[in-house]
Structure 1
Amino acid sequence: MYNAILPIAELAVHPLRELLNDEFHARPPMPLSSPVLVSHLVFTQDSSALAVERNRLCRLGQTQSGKLLTSSDTCLVFDGGSFLLRWELHTEFSSYTVFRSLPPGDPRNSEATALDVLPTEWLRTLPGEMIVATHVELRSSGELSPESVTARLTPTGRQMVAAQVADRAAWVFSDFIFDQGFSRFIVLDVSLTQRQAGRTVQRLLEIETYRLLALLALPVAKEVGGWLTGAEQQLAEMVDHIGQASSPGDEREVLADLTRLAAEVEHSVARTTFRFGAARAYHDLVMQRIDELREVRVAGCPTFHEIMQRRLLPAMHTCVAMANRQDDLSDRLARTSQLLRTRVDVELERQNQEQLTQMNRRARLQLRLQETVEGLSVVAITYYASQLVHYLAKGGKILFPEISPEIAAAVSIPLIAGFLMLGIRRMRGRLRQAEDSEH
C-alpha cells in the first residue's frame, strides 16, 4: 500500500518557496461597492526609509481605532473602521491607497476625498517625495449618469478621456490634469461586481502611477540628448585627427582624448541605463493595464489607449532614441579606438621590422669582425706557439745537434695554424648544435 498523502514535512524545501508563492498572490484588488472614494499617493524613496514608513504606519494604528488585516514586508492593509488604508512597497517607490465607503444615496460633494479621514499631521510627515497623487470616485450610474458627465464637455474646455470598460459594465472619465495637485478619475458603475470594481479602480491607479514613473526618464533623455550632440561632434573631430596624425605624439594625444570621451560615455550609460530600462517597463505596464480595461469608445472622446499613444508614446520613443544613441556612440568609440590601435600596431610592426633589419645588419657586421678577430687570433697564437717551438728546439740542440731551431719553428707554423682553424671550426659546430637543440 502506498500513502496517498505526500509527506511534505519530510522533504527538503527550498528556502524561497513560501516567499515566491506569497509574491505571486501579493497586491490583490480590493472588492468595492459604489459609492466609494479612493485616494492614491505614491512616494519615491530609497530602501533606508522602509523602517520609517512601517513605524509611521504602526503609529497610525495606535492613534486610530482599527486593526491590521494583512501585514508583510511589502504590503499592509489597515482597517480604520470608516476607511481602509493599503500600503505597498515597490522597487523604487511606495504607495498609500485610502478607500472610503459612502452611504448609498449620499449626495455628491466634489470637494470630498478619501484623505479627509486621515490625520493631517500624519499625512504631512509621510517620508519621500510625492510623485503621484490621484482621486478616484466610484459612483453608480443611477446616481450619476454618463450623460450628465459628457454634457459638461465643451469644445473649448478640458479634453476629457472617456471609455466604457469591462464589457460596457462601467464608464470611466478623466482628463489627466492636476486639480489642486491631484489627478481625478470618475468611474460609473453600470453592472460591475465587487471584484470587477476593485480591479477597474486598481488598473486606473496603476495607469496613473506607471504613466508618471515612465515620464521620469524624459528629462534625463533631454539632458543626455544635449550632451550626446557635443560628444558625437568630438568623436568626428577625433576621427579626422587620426587621419591627420603624422607622429607618435599626435597618436598618443588622440588616444588620450578617445579614452577620456569613452569614460564619459560609459559613465552616462551607467547613470541612465536603469532609468531608461525602467521607463520601458513602466510604459509596457501602462499599455497592459489599458488593454485589460477592454475599452469601448465614447463618441466625441479619445480613449485611454489613444491618449497614451498620442502623448506618452512620443516621450518613450525619445528615451529609446537617446538610449540607442548612447549605445551607438559607445560602439563607434570602440571601433575608432580599434582603428587607432590598428594604426599604432602597424607602425610598431614597421618599427620592429626596421629594428630587426638593423639588428641583422649589425649581426653580419659583428660576424665579419668576429671572423677577422678569429683570423688575427690564429696568427697571434701561431706566432707565439712557433716561438715556443723555437725555444724548445734551441734547448734540445744539445741532445739533437742536427735539428735547426729556425727550421723547426718554420715547420711548426702551418701545423699549428691548421690545428687552430680545425679547433675553431669544431667549436662553431658544437655551438650551432647546442643552439638548434634549444629551439
Structure 2
Amino acid sequence: MNKVNNSYGLEMHPLRDALYAELHSRPFQVLPSPARISYLAVIVGSDQKQAEFEHFCSLYNHFNGVPPQDDGVCFEVDFGDFKIRRDKHLEFTSYMITHSQIDPNLGFFDQNALVCLPIDWLSKIPGIVIAAFHVAVEDARTIPEPDLALVKSHFEGMRLVGSRPQNGDAQVWTTFQLHSDGCGRFLIYNKRMSDSQLGRMVQRVVEIETYRLMALLALPMARKYNAELVAMDEELAQTTASLSDATEPLDEQALLSELIDMAAWVEATRSKTSFRFSATRAYHELVLKRLNELKEDEVSGHLTITEFMTRRLTPAVRTCNTAGNHLESLSTRIDRVSDMMRTQVEMSIQSQNQQLLTSMDRRSKIQLAMQHTVEGLSVAAISYYSVGLLKFLIEAVYDKGVHFDKSLVIGLSVPIVVGSVWLATRKIHKRFLLLAKAKEEK
C-alpha cells in the first residue's frame, strides 16, 4: 500500500493486498469422514442484507462467541460441536453446517446438522430459502461398496442418480427430489480421498445443486412469456401484412398506435426478464464447469449426475434462452416495421406536399395572368385620366390666345401618354422583381 509495507522501499498499489486476499476469500473446507452436513441457500434482498448479517452475528452471541464487526464474503466458525460456514453471493447467502459427532445407531438422514442450530434462529433467517438439503458422508475406505438396495432405502425408495466422481475415489448418490422433511439428500461414500479432497468434492456437489435451482428460477417466467410472445408474433404479422396489402386504404394512425403498444410491451417485458435470463445463462455455465470438475465414472444401470443435468437442466436453460432471443427478435422486427411505417407516412406526406406545390404553382400562374390583365387595365385607366388632365392644360393654353388645332394636339398626345404610362409601369415591375431576387439570394 505504501513504502512502509515492504523492505525494499517500493511504492505499492493501494489495491494490491486486496487483490491477493480475493484469491483466498472462499477457501475449500476440510471435511472428515464420516460427517453430516446441512446446506441452506437463502435469497436475500438488498434491503435484507444488513438484517441477515446481524442475524448471523446473533449466532455468535448464542454460543458465547465474538461476532465480526464488518460483513464479509465468507465466514467459517467452529463452535465445538459443529462448524458453520457462511458465504455471501450476489443473489443469495449460503450456510453450510458440518457435524462430525455421528451416532452409528441412527440412519444416515435421521440425524442432520440443522439440529445443532437453535430452532428460533433457523426460523427467523431473513430471506427466502431456495435450496435446502442434507449431505451424509460415510467412510468406505475400509469397507466394501454399499449394497444398492441399502442405498435406495435411505432415499425413501425414489429413483437414484449416482456416479463415481474423482475417477472412482468416491460414490455419490442423490435423487434431485424433495423428501419427507422438505429437503434434498446426498449420500457420499469416501473410498480413497483425503479430508481436503473430500471438502473440495462436497463443495462442488452443493454448488451444482444450488446453481441448478438458481438457473431454473427463470423457467416459469420463460414459459409464461413464450405463450404471450406467440400471440404478439401473430399480431405483428397481421400488421405487417396490412402494410403490404395495397388494395385497402391504411389507417396509419391506428397502425402506429398498435406498433407503439407492442413496442412498449416488449420493452417492459425485456426489463423484467433480462437480468433473470442472463443469470440463468451464468448459473448454467457454472453448473457445467462444476460437473466437469467432478470427473465422474458411471455406476452400472444409473444415470450419472452429468447425464441427468444434461438431459433435464440444459433443455430448461434453452427454453429460457429461446424466450430471451424471441424478445430480442420481436423488438428488432417491431423496429423494422415501425421504420417501414414511418417511411410510408413520410412518402404520403411528400406526395401531399408535391400536390400542394403543384396547386400553388398553378395558382401562381393564374395570379400572374390576372396581374398582367390588371396591369393592362391600369395602363388604360391611368392613360385615360392623364389625357383628361392634359386636355385641361391644352384648353387653358388655347384660351390664353395661343392658336393651334386643339383636337389634333389632344389626339397626338394620347399615344405619347399611353406609351409613357406603359414604360413607367414596366420599370416599376422590373424594380420589384430585382428586389425579390436579391432577397432570395440572401
Q: Under a length normalisation based on structure 2, what TM-score does the superposition of the two structures give?
A: 0.88
Q: Is the 8 A contact 2:218 2:276 kept in 1?
A: yes
Aligned Cα root-mean-square deviation (Å): 2.8
* Residue number in structure 2 paired with 1:41: 40
Residue 429 of structure 1: how far off its partner (Å): 4.4
Matches within 5 A, 1:258-269: 258-269=259-270
2: CA distance between counterparts of 1:247 and 1:174? 65
Partner of 2:417: 413
How much does 1:305 deviate? 0.9
Q: Deviations over 1:92-112 (max 9, x none)?
A: 211111122236x95553211
* Runs of at least 5 residues in structure 1 that lack an aligned partner in the other structure: none
Q: Tell me which residue corresponds to 1:109.
A: 107
Cα pair distance change 1:22/1:395, threshold 3 Å: farther
Contact 1:68 1:76 in 2 (8 A): no
Q: Percent identity?
A: 33
Matching residue of 1:168:
168
> 3-state DSSP class of the match of 2:168?
coil
| Compared CA separation, residues 184 and 400, structure 1 to 2 (3 A) | farther
> Is the 8 Å Cα contact of residues 38 and 135 (structure 2) preserved in structure 1?
yes
- Aligned 8 A contact 1:165 1:296 in 2: yes
Counterparts of 1:333 and 1:112, CA distance in 2:
58
| Structure 1 SS opposite 2:214 | helix
Equivalences for residues 84-163 of structure 1 within 5 A:
84-102=83-101, 106=104, 109-110=107-108, 111-142=110-141, 145-149=144-148, 152-153=151-152, 157-163=157-163
How far apart, in 2, do the equivalents of 1:222 and 1:431 lie?
73
Distance across 1 between alignment mates of 2:304 and 2:393: 126
For 1:303, the equivalent position in structure 2 comes to 304
Which SS does the other structure have where 2:420 is aligned?
helix
Partner of 1:318: 319
**In structure 1, the residue corresponding to 2:147 is in which secondary structure?**
helix
Q: Note the C-alpha offset of 1:58.
A: 1.5
2:434 aligned partner: 430
1:123-148 superposed Cα distances (whole Å, 9 cap, x missing partner)? 01111111100111222113664333
Q: How does 1:22-421 map to 2 (within 5 A)?
A: 22-67=21-66, 72-102=71-101, 106=104, 109-110=107-108, 111-142=110-141, 145-149=144-148, 152-153=151-152, 157-179=157-179, 180-242=181-243, 243=245, 246-247=248-249, 250-397=251-398, 401-402=402-403, 404=406, 406-407=410-411, 409-410=413-414, 412-421=416-425
1:240-268 residue CA offsets vs partner (Å, 9 max, x unmatched): 333268445x2211221121122112211
- The residue type paired with residue 328 of structure 1 is S
Gap runs ≥5 in structure 2: 1-5
Deviation at 1:385, TM superposition (A): 3.1
Q: Note closer, same or farther for the CA distance 1:18–1:355 as it changes in structure 2 (3 Å cut).
A: farther
Q: CA deviation at 1:61?
A: 0.9
Higher mean displacement: 369-378 or 116-125: 369-378
Tell me: CA distance 1:69–1:162, structure 2 relative to 1, closer, same or farther (3 Å): farther
Q: Residues 370 and 145 (structure 1 numbering): CA distance in 2 closer, same or farther, change over 3 Å?
A: farther
Q: Which moved more, 1:19-28 or 1:226-235?
A: 19-28
Q: Is the 8 A contact 1:214 1:282 kept in 2?
A: yes
- In structure 2, do the counterparts of structure 1 residues 364 and 145 end up closer, same or farther at CA, with 3 Å as the change threshold? farther
Give yes or no for contact 2:164–2:172 (8 Å, CA) kept in 1.
yes
Deviation at 1:22, TM superposition (A): 4.0
Contact kept, 8 Å, 2:170 with 2:190, in 1: the verdict is yes
More displaced stretch, 64-73 vs 415-424: 64-73
Shift of 1:113: 0.6
Partner of 1:226, secondary structure, is helix
Q: Which amino acid aligns with 1:300?
A: G
Equivalent residues of 1:213, 1:282 under 8 A apart? yes
Query: Which secondary structure does the structure 1 equivalent of 2:365 belong to?
Result: helix
The AA in structure 2 aligned to 1:159 is R
Structure 1 letter corresponding to 2:438 = A
Give the Cα–Cα distance (whole angstroms) in 2 for the partners of residues 6 and 375 of structure 1. 104
Q: What TM-score, normalized by structure 1, do the two folds share?
A: 0.88
- 8 A contact 2:53–2:71 mirrored in 1: no
Deviation at 1:402, TM superposition (A): 4.4
Letter in 1 for 2:10: P
Give the aligned residue type for 1:202.
Answer: Q
Note the C-alpha offset of 1:358.
0.8
Q: In the TM superposition, what whole-angstrom CA distance separates every residue of 1:363-414 from its partner, at most 9, and x where no partner exists? A: 1111111222222222223333333333344444567824646257425413
Q: CA contact under 8 A between 1:67 and 1:78: conserved in structure 2?
A: no
Aligned residue for 2:177, secondary structure, equals coil
Is the 8 Å Cα contact of residues 81 and 101 (structure 2) preserved in structure 1?
Answer: no
What letter is aligned with 2:205? L
